[in-house]
Amino acid sequence: MRDFHSLGIDVNRRTAGHIKTTCPHCTETRHNKRDKSLSVNLDDGKFLCHHCGWKGCVPDETELRERRQRAESRKRQQVPPAHFRRPTFDLTRLTLSEKTEHYLVSTRYLSQSAIRDLRITEQEEFMPQSGKLENCICFNYFESGELVNTKFRSGQKHFKMVKDAELIPYNIDSILDTPECIITEGEMDAASFVTIGRRDVVSVPSGANSNLTWLDRFIPTHFEDKKTIYIAVDEDSAGLKLRDELLRRLGTERCRIVHFGPGCKDANEHLAQFGAESLGICIEQAEEIPLEGVFTAEELAGELRALYENGMSSGAETGWENFDKYCTLELQRLLLISGRPGDGKSEWLDELVMRLCLRHQWKVAYFSPENMPIVYHHRKLIEKLTGFGFNPSVGMTEELYQKSVQFLTENVCHILPGDEDYSIDTILQKARGLVVRKGIRILVIDPLNRIDQRLPPGQTELQYLSSLLNSLSRFATHYHCLVILVAHPRKMNRNPLTGVTPCVGMYDIFGSSDFYNKADFGIIVERDDQKGLVTIHVEKVKFKHLGTPGNATFVYNIVNGRYSPCEEGAGDKPGPINTQFDNKAWI
């Protein structure tokens, strides 16, 4: 939890989304003291006053703890041992022979800028393997701009390093104070990543050797502040041992494993066979390491103190006042929506998502095979965004159309695996990529029955559904997302006397009572065609500070697909429509 109170920022007991509030820096000196000029992003802690320009970021407890640890580590920073030999760098050797340059560029596919930036040189050196002088490519190891060591590589693949020089990571200066880094098994692989534009890359100095004592001195200064570390070593037995030791030393929670695909043992082979763009995709698709988290009260002391002093706060609002008084939303939660077929579950869900996207900048990814083709779904979303029918008219101008398309391009993605299966694992794999690439905050799965059920041998359907819900909850928690699942109910029979189909409840969802038990929010959509009303039943809000069960009634606009709140109990004559949520000003 972020302690905005310590800076005098009043967030009105909210915990998620974007809000505007008064600025503690300039309010007292202003004529209009009620002007809410301070924009606050409660999700990442950033704030900005649009009047005085005051801005900053309120860290959470994890970020504060990391800052303290880095500061303490730098105080204890070891200086390089003085007894190591330091070679002298010869600038005249930077000019490579035509043969060597052709080998690096045309055979190894390194860029000339990478060769220049890494200061790769060439010289003759006595190699103990052959007992004679050999022409060598020289990979020079610098720290703070000073040459510390050199690895010599001859055309016969003989290697040696400077005698009595210190072992340090290759290209170590490139990762100082960077949020990420890549670790390779060899200098040629590091140069391959530099070629594709990733300068934050180092190589281990001694190949696939699990003895990492050379790493000790650089942990606090170069690795401790890393958010993500990509392990891009060879996938042979020696490389796997090196990978496992790096994971143990650096921590699995922030490491990703890079795979180079069949027929490629390392980064340089992948670059040579498939090109720079494909090597970049290897980084984007790096595998996460499963991690079980363990926490103590001491480690959560700051968040616990902020909760104690500031109390529980409501979540993100939608702008539907009649709905918000019963339910406010938070990230890291699972929201379940159900209702009878044809009652408009997806229609209402679309407006809910667009409101959250507009008000709080929560980008969304849909897995919605029933909204096919995707352009039809875009048409519906644009109508909700603009309030106009999707055709050239007085309302839907060309300018508004272009702005709407741009908004959807920046904020909405659709997951459609194509020839791949529609299993939950495939969907979540695609969604993980969109968290990294697009920064999505909402994942919509609409509906559940379009997911391929693949029950392992011996597993019942109830066990499968329980496992699926657990996977969605873990995804929401781990990736700081709101996951929304639409699930159909079991068949509801009409009352033979009245001809009315009863309203669905959370326990009526087909398959398992776990839908009610494991959801953080439970919502039922019910449409009454005779009265022309849609009732949203908020059946479950797991945490009372986020809301309480209740009903919100709406009128559906068939022209633009919007839901307008109306007075409860209005019957055949709905009350005044709330038109306060005017999207034209938002996009």
Tell me the pLDDT of the chain (587 aa) as tens digits. Answer: 788 988 999 998 888 899 999 999 999 889 898 899 999 999 888 999 999 989 888 888 777 777 676 656 555 554 555 567 888 898 888 999 999 999 999 999 999 999 999 999 999 999 999 999 999 999 999 998 999 999 999 999 899 999 989 999 999 999 988 889 999 999 999 999 999 999 999 999 988 776 787 887 888 888 988 889 999 999 888 888 888 888 878 888 889 999 998 889 999 999 999 999 999 999 999 988 754 555 667 656 766 777 777 777 889 999 999 999 999 999 999 999 998 888 999 999 999 999 999 999 899 999 998 888 899 999 999 999 888 888 887 678 888 899 999 999 989 999 987 666 788 988 999 998 888 778 889 999 998 888 888 787 888 888 888 889 999 999 998 888 999 999 988 776 666 666 666 778 888 886 667 888 899 999 999 998 888 899 999 999 999 999 999 999 999 998 889 999 985 444 334 333 333 345 544 44
| DSSP helix/strand/coil, 485 | strand
What amino acid is encoded at 198 in this protein? R
Residue 505 confidence (pLDDT): 82
Q: What's the Cα-to-Cα distance from 89 to each of 119, 163, 169, 197, 281, rounded to whole Å?
A: 10, 15, 17, 25, 36
User: Which pLDDT score, from 0 to 100, does residue 576 have?
Assistant: 38
Question: Among candidates 423, 488, 420, 430, which has minimal Cα distance to 452?
Answer: 423
All domains of the chain, ordered by start, with CATH? 5-58 (no CATH), 85-288 (3.40.1360.10), 329-492+499-577 (3.40.50.300)
Whole-angstrom distance, CA of residue 48 vs CA of residue 39: 5
CB distance 439 to 479 below 8 Å: no
Q: What is the CA radius of gyration of the chain?
A: 29
* pLDDT at residue 70, rounded to an integer: 61
- Return the pLDDT at 142: 95
Number of neighbouring beta carbons within 10 Å of residue 232: 30
Distance CA 59, CA 332 (A): 18
- Contact call for residues 110 and 193 (beta carbons, < 8 A): no
Q: What is the three-class DSSP state of 149?
A: strand
0.85 exceeded by pTM:
no
CA distance 235 to 189: 13
Predicted local confidence at residue 216, as pLDDT? 79
pLDDT score at 482: 96
Q: Rounded to an integer, what distance in angstroms lies between the CA atom of residue 78 and that of residue 221?
A: 10
The confidence score (pLDDT) of residue 420 equals 65
pLDDT of residue 348: 95
Q: Which of 133, 130, 265 is nearest to 192 (CA)?
A: 265
Query: Which helix (H) or strand (E) element contains residue 304?
Result: helix 301-310
Question: CA separation (Å) from 197 to 106, 121, 176, 189, 275?
Answer: 18, 21, 17, 13, 13
Give the burial class of 250: count Cβ atoms within 10 A of its Cβ; 0-12 exposed, 13-18 middle, 19 or more buried.
buried
pLDDT value for 310: 76
